[in-house]
Structure formats: C-alpha cells, structure tokens
Structure 1
Amino acid sequence: MRDGVRALAEKARVKVRPNDLEARDPRFIERVMPLLGTLYDHYFRAETELEAPFVDGPALVVGNHNAMTGTPDMFCHMLAFWRLHSPARLAYGLMHDVPFGFPGAGAWLNGAGALAASPENAARALDRGAAVLVFPGGDIDACKPFSRRYEIEFGKRRGFVRAALRHGVPLVPVVSVGAHHSLYIWTDGRRIAEALKLPQLARSNVAPLGLALPWGIIAGIPLPHLPPPVKIHTRILAPIRPNLPPSAADDPEAVEEVFEHVRSAMQAAMNDLKQQGRHGWFPAS
C-alpha cells in the first residue's frame, strides 16, 4: 500500500504524453495494483465475471460508460484485466483528452495505459498486438439521465466497428452497472450544450443537470464528482468475430450490422444485470 502511494507521488511528476504508447509503465501498474485493489474490492465491492475466456492477441474491448467523471470504469476494467493477465500483457484505454490535464491524475492514467481517444492511437495500439479499451458512447453514455441508466447509448458513433474491421480483430463487449447510482442526473442537457456551442468549444455534447457529491447541484460536467461506495457489477461478454474482410470497414451496411450485433449483445447483458440487481446502494446477495 505504501509503495503504491509512493508510486503515485513519483508518477505525478512525470510529463503527460497522451499520444505516446511508451508512456505505459508496467512497473508503475504493478506497484499501484494493491492500492487500486483496495478500492476495487472493498470500496466499490466490484464484481467482474467472464462469459468466455478472454481472447489472445489484439482486441477491441468495447465498454459502456457506467456514469460520469468520478466513476472508475476504466480502472475497474483494467484492474480486472491486469489480475487476469498481469500488467505484462499490452493493453491501453482510449480516453477523452480533458483528464490528461488533471494535476497528477493525468500522469497516473497515462502510466496505466491511457491514450488520447483517436483513430490513430487505436490503430497504432492494435498494430502492436494490444487489447484496446474504448467507450464509444463517450459523454452521451456517461451522462444519461438516471431514468435511462440501463440503456446502452452509443449515438451515431461507429468508428470502433470500422477500426476492428480494418485490423481484423475481435470485439469484446464489456457491460458494467452500478455507478449510475453514485449521482442523480435529471437531464443530459444536450440542447443546452448545443446552445452554448460546447461540441465545438469543449468537445462536449452534453451539459447535465443533477445532483452529485461534493458539489450538490451540478450544472455541467463535474470534474470530477466524488462517488459514494456503490457496488459495481461487470460482465465481460464472449468475443464477437465478424467474418468480414477489411474492406467491409468502408461498407456502411456491414458496419451497421456489426454495430447492432455488439449493441444488442450489450443491451441484453445490461438487462440481465439489471434483473439480477447485484449493484448499486443495496445490491441483492
């Protein structure tokens, strides 16, 4: 634990390199895993289950956003992955560029394998044989109203499908529930965001209104919010292997067919996790 804290302090002084695959630091990951494991096991009581053995070689891992800026989607998924394969297996997570600017935290995330979300970074990581974690829904999925917390919301984003087809890699869906109980979002504020031109000014399609710790009432995306200890339940689904040539990435109908396959598999898993109820404030035993 103490060594993990020292590792965080040391890494916080390192320059952030959001587009550099070499910024990933397996030794740093090893040192902080016990500390992250305490949060994973005891604070969030995270539970991760596998439908099938995780694939060998490069893969595009597709996750839903389990609430907003303070929730540990990426760290929970990556910690489960590191425990399964060790930090030695090459893996990256694509992330919005804003968190890279957080003092200290940007370098921590970078050292753990976070890269700026872009098609170029995804391609370079896949070419290296890495597992690459993406959250196609971005802010529109993260900032869903509480009433829609069990919906998979990817909007019109299909880039992850095209990347998988071009590189001939399997898609591994990951569905997570529970963290949307850590705050209350009344509306995602898309019309407000459009009126304020946030998509152009801040790469944000939303301006959510709701309640979150420690801010109380929120108007806009809190950076970050403080999540209470709600239980998180995650399921890693069986890999989806489209039997299509790389040229299918330029065929809108083929892309849409694969997209719907992934989305519907994730929604079915989400519905099942909802029914089981092993998440949130008062999880079923």
Structure 2
Amino acid sequence: MKDGLAALAEKARVTVRPNDLASRDPHFIKRAMPLLGMFYDHYFRAETELEAPFTDGPALVVGNHNAMTGTPDMFCHMLAFWRLYSPDRISYGLMHDVPFRFPGAGAWLNAAGAIAASPENAARALDRGAAVLVFPGGDIDACKPFSRRYEIEFGKRRGFVRTALRHQVPIVPVVSVGAHHSLYIWTDGRRIAEALRLPLLARSNVAPIGVALPWGLIAGIPLPHLPPPVKIHTRILAPIHTDLPPSAADDPEAVEDLFERVRSAMQRTMNELKQQGRHGWFPAS
C-alpha cells in the first residue's frame, strides 16, 4: 500500500503526454495495483465475469459508461484485465481530454495507459497489438437520466465500428452496472448544452441536472463527482468477429449492421445484469 502511494506521488510530477503511447508505464501499474485493488475489492466490491476467453492479439474493447466523472469504470475494467494478463500485456484506454488536465490524476491515468480519444491514437495502439478500451457513448451515455440507467446509449457514434473494420480486429463488448446508483440525474440537459454552445466550447453534449456528492444539487457535469460505495457488476462478453474486409468501413449499411450487432449484445447483457440485481446500494447475494 505504501509503495502504491509512493508511486502515485512520484508519477504526479511527470509531464502528461496524452498522445504518446510510450507514456504507459507497466512498472508504475504493478506498484499501484494493490492500492487500486483496495477500492476495486472493498469500496466498489467490483465483480467482473468473463463470458469467454479474451482474444489474443489486438482488440477493440467497447464499454458502456457506468455513471459520471467520479466512477472509475475505466480503471475497474483495466484492473480486471491486468489481473488476468498482467500489466505487461499492452493495453490502452481512450479518454476525453479533460481528465488529463487534473493535477496529478492526469499523469496517473496517462501512466496507466490512458491516451487521448481519437481515431489516430486508437489506430496506433491497435497496430502495436494492444487491447484498446473505448467508451463510444461518452458523455451522453455517462450522463443518462436515472430512469434510463439500464439503456446502452451510443447515439450516432459509429467510429469504433469503422476502426475495428479498418484494422481487422475483433470487438470485445464490456457491460457494467451499478455506478448509476451513486447519484441521481433528472435530465441530461442536452438542450441546455446546445443553447450554451457547450459542444463547441467544452466538447460536452450535456448539462445534467440532478444530485451528486459532494455538491448536492448539480447543474452541469460535477468535477469531481465523489461516488459512495455502490457495488459494480461487470461482464466481459465473447469477442465479436466479422469476416468483412477493411473496405466495409466505408459501407454505411455494413457499419450499421455491425454496430447493431454490438449494441444488441450489450443491451441483452445489461438486461440480464439488471435482473440479477448484484449491483448498486443493496445488491442481491
């Protein structure tokens, strides 16, 4: 534990390089894992199931966003992956540019494998043979109203499908539930965001209104959002392969068909996890 804290203190002084794949530091990850594991095992009581053996070689790992800024769904998925395969297996997570600007935290995330979310970075990581984690829904998925917390919401975003096709890699869906119980979002405030020109000014499509710790009432994305200890339940699905050629990335019908195949598989799993109820404030045993 002490060594993990020391690793965080040392890495906090390092310059953040969001587009540099070499920023990933397996030694740092190994030192930080016991500390991260404490939150994973005892605070969030995270439970991760593997539906089928994870694919060898490069893969695009597609997850739903399990609540907002303070819920570390990326770190939960990555920690489960590191425990299975060790930090020595190359893996990255595509992340919005805002967290990189947080003092200390930006450098920690960067060293853990977080890189700026862009098609170019995804392509370079896949070309290295990495498993690349992406959350296509972004803010519209993370900031869903509480009444829609069990919906997979990717909007019109299809870039991940085109990337998988162009690089001929399987898509590995990951579905997580529980963290949306850590706050209450009444509305995602998309119309408010549009009126305030937030998509242009802050790369944000939402301006959620609700209640979250430590602020109480929120109007906009809370930085930070401090989640209470709700249980998180995650399932890693079997890889989805396709025999389509790279040129299919330019075929809107082929892209939509594969997108729907992925989204439907994730929604079915979401429905199953909801029914099982092993998540949230009072998880079923």
Alignment deviations for residues 198-218 of structure 1 (CA, whole Å, 9 cap, x no partner): 000000000000000000000
Quote the residue 1:82 is aligned against: 82
Alignment deviations for residues 230-281 of structure 1 (CA, whole Å, 9 cap, x no partner): 0000000000001100000000000000000000000000000000000000
Inter-partner Cα distance in structure 2 for 1:26 and 1:101 = 22
Quote the residue 2:68 is aligned against: 68
Q: Which runs of 4+ in 1 moved over 2 A?
A: none
Alignment deviations for residues 33-67 of structure 1 (CA, whole Å, 9 cap, x no partner): 00000000000000000100000000000000000
Q: Tell me by how many angstroms 1:5 deviates.
A: 0.1
Inter-partner Cα distance in structure 1 for 2:3 and 2:107 = 17
Q: Tell me by how many angstroms 1:185 deviates.
A: 0.3
Task: Give the secondary-structure state (helix, strand or coil) at the position aligned to 1:133.
Answer: strand
Would you say 1:191 and 2:191 are equivalent positions? yes
Structure 2: gaps (5+ residues):
none
Quote the residue 2:176 is aligned against: 176
Inter-partner Cα distance in structure 2 for 1:136 and 1:65 = 8
Task: Give the secondary-structure state (helix, strand or coil) at the position aligned to 2:19.
Answer: coil
Alignment deviations for residues 168-188 of structure 1 (CA, whole Å, 9 cap, x no partner): 000000000000000000000
Residue type matched to 2:24 in 1?
A: R
Q: Tell me by how many angstroms 1:117 deviates.
A: 0.2
Quote the residue 2:135 is aligned against: 135
Q: Tell me by how many angstroms 1:223 deviates.
A: 1.1
Quote the residue 1:151 is aligned against: 151
Task: Give the secondary-structure state (helix, strand or coil) at the position aligned to 1:139.
Answer: helix
Inter-partner Cα distance in structure 1 for 2:65 and 2:23 = 24
Q: Tell me by how many angstroms 1:195 deviates.
A: 0.1
Quote the residue 1:239 is aligned against: 239
Task: Give the secondary-structure state (helix, strand or coil) at the position aligned to 1:140.
Answer: helix
Inter-partner Cα distance in structure 1 for 2:84 and 2:195 = 45
Inter-partner Cα distance in structure 1 for 2:152 and 2:242 = 20
Q: Tell me by how many angstroms 1:11 deviates.
A: 0.3
Inter-partner Cα distance in structure 1 for 2:4 and 2:81 = 18
TM-score, length-normalised on structure 1? Answer: 1.00
Quote the residue 2:208 is aligned against: 208
Task: Give me the CA root mean square deviation.
Answer: 0.3
Quote the residue 2:33 is aligned against: 33
Residue type matched to 1:100 in 2?
A: F
Inter-partner Cα distance in structure 2 for 1:271 and 1:129 = 32
Quote the residue 2:6 is aligned against: 6
Residue type matched to 1:242 in 2?
A: T
Would you say 1:99 and 2:99 are equivalent positions? yes
Alignment deviations for residues 148-176 of structure 1 (CA, whole Å, 9 cap, x no partner): 00000000000000000000000000000
Quote the residue 2:250 is aligned against: 250
Structure 1: gaps (5+ residues):
none
TM-score, length-normalised on structure 2? Answer: 1.00
Inter-partner Cα distance in structure 1 for 2:92 and 2:185 = 29
Inter-partner Cα distance in structure 1 for 2:250 and 2:103 = 40
Q: Tell me by how many angstroms 1:224 deviates.
A: 1.5
Inter-partner Cα distance in structure 2 for 1:129 and 1:229 = 35
Inter-partner Cα distance in structure 2 for 1:269 and 1:224 = 29
Provide the identity percentage: 87
State the aligned residue count.
285
Quote the residue 1:20 is aligned against: 20
Quote the residue 2:47 is aligned against: 47
